[in-house]
Amino acid sequence: MNSENVGNENVGNPGASAEVVSRASVSKGAKAVKALAAVDTGTLGLRSMPQAEVMKKYGRHEGDTGSPEVQIALITRRLEVLAIHFKTNEQDKHSQRGMMLLISQRKQLLQYLKNTDALRYKTLIAALGLRK
């Protein structure tokens, strides 16, 4: 066995590395990254608003920071910022994990809001533009 090729089974085989990349890009996280990266970065959505303004706009009363509407709006704001980050850093796997956790948290909050008050849910998704 040649000592140069120990641990490098795919050296000289460019097709093997492409196969590994294609398998990685099919993963769930990569699909979510591509979906969020497709967000139109030309329009300034929530990401242009300071956090206090988001809380004021979506809060149910003055100083509201814990209502589902505020939490969902803040998470959506963070996801929009991450979408821009992933346009330039496609292979940032650590941030992809964080993004998946944020998506899961937002999904749970949306489900809670839908089950408790459907009218508030419909108003919020229309305001944030989450569903088509």
Q: Angle at CA 36, nearest 5°, toward 69 and 30?
A: 125
DSSP 8-class letter at 23: H
DSSP state of 39: S
**pLDDT, mean over the chain:** 77
Task: Locate 8 and state its tokens.
Answer: 């490098």
- For residue 6, the one-letter residue type is V
pLDDT value at position 124?
Answer: 94
Q: Which domains does the chain have, with CATH numbers?
A: 11-128 (1.10.287.10)
Whole-number pLDDT of residue 42 = 42
pLDDT tens-digit series, residues 7-30: 444 445 444 444 444 444 445 556
In this predicted structure, the answer to whether residue 46 has a pLDDT above a threshold of 90 is no
Task: Select the more confidently predicted residue: 46 or 100.
Answer: 100
Query: Higher model confidence: residue 130 or residue 44?
Result: 130
Give me the sign of the Cα torsion angle 28, 113, 81, 87: positive
What is the three-class DSSP state of 117?
A: coil
